[in-house]
Each structure stands twice: as structure tokens, then as C-alpha cells.
Amino acid sequence: MKPLALFLGCIAPIRMPGIVSSTRLVLDHFDVPWTEMKGASCCPAPGVVGSFDLTTWLTLAARNITLAEELKADITTVCNGCYGTLQESSAILADENVRYEVNERLEEIGREVRGTARVYHLVETLHDAVGPERITKASSGLEGLKVAVHHGCHFLRPRRTRDHGSSERPNILTDIVSACGAQPVAWSEAHTCCGAGGGVRAGRPSTALRITATKLRSAHEAGADVIVNPCSFCHLQLVRGQEELQESHGLDISVPVLHVAQLVGLAIGLDRSRLGIEGPPLPKGVPKRE
């Protein structure tokens, strides 16, 4: 297995560092080789830059991909948006004509994208490289924990480049939750946006919060103890959104939120203090080591 260059994106290192520490600890626990990707920039965001200037979007993404190629590594991401940009850019750059045009721009900074680095999401790494069986063997203590599984938008779509099974009834993240000993629950808003995507959090915050509130109510009504997600931006919205709903609307919908790396970290008995879990407290009985 090639080593994995960790592409952490913008949000996780700056605003959700627990996702970063959890990812490193979990990969180390399962002996997955990884390395830091130094000098990475924003992915850039899939639905913004690419909508205005596709070639610039591809060039910025390609520069990030060249960093992994220099390390002779593949890429793993902890954010659906970063995954969406880098994975789709990689697929588009397979076209020699497109790659030639992008490399003409990269030549100005002494870089060339060759297409030797594959792009994976951490969910794929856990599901395919580690595997549910190994996770199950290493897990204990989460039996009975009811989980609302949120796959997020950019992880599943478009299907032409991201084939994780049905985008309407996905199982890949649910498989990991089950491998941890937890119990996925059915909930009506499982496949809706978290509220943050497409610039909505920045441009229309009240709309973003309304979407988030609907999602949180759905998880609560389904009896979920926690929401588990694979995306640092979804994570930010679901955690901070609860605080913002309380502050601006006096609305208290308290549902703990875990990134998939944090859930696996808890399941395999890593110190909770090293997993950087934020937001409402976890249910009693969830393993806690200090």
C-alpha cells in the first residue's frame, strides 16, 4: 500500500482540530502509512471557484495533487468538499488535453501533474484499506449507541466519479458505524444537506440554520444518541449550528456530533481527551479514558 498524504483542508486544522488528531491516531492504530502534505492550499471549494473558472479550479487542485506525487503517495481527505474537488479534478485531468492545458499553467511555478496519485476519502481508507472486520475486532464499548449516519453531499455525488453504491441508500459509512458496535437508526433527513453547502452558511446563514434545525430535529426524533459524519464542513455546521440556534433563536436541540475518525477512535479505546470532541456531551456509557 502506498503511503497516504493527509489533505486536511482549511476547516479541520483551524476550526476542528479534533478531526485532525483523531485521524492521525486512528491511522496509526491500524498501521496505515501516512505522511503530512506540507504546503497544501485550499482544495479549492468545489461549487464556488469551479463554477466561475474551471481551468483555474483545476490548476489549483492539480498543484495540491503534485505535492502528493512528489511524496510518491496517494491522498486521503477528511472533508467531503476537499474530496469532491480533488477526486473529480483527478478524474478530469485524466484527459490528456486538459492535463496539457493545466500543466502549461503549472509550468510557471515549476510543477507538473502526472496523474500518479489517487484520491481517497478517509471513509474509503477505513472501509477498504482497514476493513470493517479489523475495526470490529479492535472495538468495544459502543454497543447500544444509536447513530444517525450523515454521509453528506459531495462524498456521494456525482456518481460518474464517486461510486460508493447507491447515493440514495448508501452503506459505506453505515458499515463502519456498525463495525464499531453502534446501531445506525433510520431518520427522515439522513440524505439532506447539513445546511452549510454551496455557500449557504456564508451567504444565507438564516437559511443554513433552518436546514440544520430540521436535520437535528429528525435525528432527535429518531432516537439517535449521536450524529456521525465524514466531513469537516458538515461537522462545523452541525456542531456550531446548535450553538447558533440556541444563541439566535433560543432553540435547544442538543445532539452530540462525531466525525467518523472520532467515532472509530472511541470504539477502539483511544483517549477521549486526544480526540478533540466538541459540542453536547456524549451519552453515559460511552468509553472515556483520560
Residue 290's pLDDT band (boundaries 50, 70, 90)?
very low
Of the chain, the percentage scoring pLDDT greater than 70 comes to 93
Buried b / exposed e along 23-60 (16+ C-beta atoms within 10 A): bbbbbebbebebeebeebeebbbbeebbeeeeeebbbb
Residues 85 and 169 in one domain: no
Instruction: Look at residues 93, 40, 92 and name the one whose alpha carbon lies nearest to residue 71.
Output: 40
Confirm whether 94 is domain-assigned.
yes
pLDDT of residue 47: 73
Asked if residue 136 and residue 102 are part of one domain, the reply reads no
Helices 80-92/232-249 angle, 10° precision? 140
Query: Tens digit of pLDDT for each residue in 39-59?
Result: 999 999 877 777 778 999 999
Can you give the pLDDT at residue 233? 94
pLDDT tens, residue by residue, 8-31? 999 999 999 999 999 999 999 999
Stretch 248-254: mean pLDDT: 85
Q: Mean of the per-residue pLDDT values for the chain?
A: 91
- pLDDT value for 256: 96
Task: Tell me, yes or no, whether 180 and 71 share the same domain.
Answer: no
Number of structural domains found in the chain: 2
Of 118 and 284, which is predicted with more confidence? 118
Mean pLDDT across the stretch 81-109? 96
Domain with 250, as residue range(s), is 132-274
Q: What is the CATH number of the domain that holds 141?
A: 3.40.50.11810
Radius of gyration, alpha carbons of the chain: 19
In tens, the pLDDT along 61-85 reads 999 999 999 999 999 999 999 999 9
Residue 164, pLDDT score:
65
The CATH number given to whatever domain includes residue 59 is 1.20.1050.140
Of residues 17 and 284, which shows the higher confidence score? Answer: 17
Domain ends where: 98, 121, 144?
A: 121
Q: 190-241: per-residue pLDDT in tens? A: 999 999 877 778 778 889 999 999 999 999 999 999 999 999 999 999 999 9
Residue 113 counted as domain residue: yes
Instruction: Give the pLDDT score at 283.
Output: 86
Could you tell me the pLDDT band of residue 165, with boundaries at 50, 70 and 90? low
The CA angle 122-126-131, to the nearest 5 degrees, is: 160
Is the pLDDT assigned to residue 166 strictly greater than 60?
no
Give mean pLDDT, residues 234-256: 91
Contacts with 32 (C-beta within 8 Å, 6 or more apart), sequence order: 1, 4, 125, 129, 130
pLDDT-derived band at 168 (thresholds 50, 70, 90) equals: low
Q: Is residue 285 part of a domain?
A: no
Shared-domain flag, residues 116 and 14: yes
* 174: in domain: yes
Same domain, 41 and 153: no
For residues 78 and 177, membership in a common domain is answered with: no
Predicted model pTM: 0.94
Mean pLDDT value of segment 157-181: 76
Q: What is the pLDDT of residue 198?
A: 74
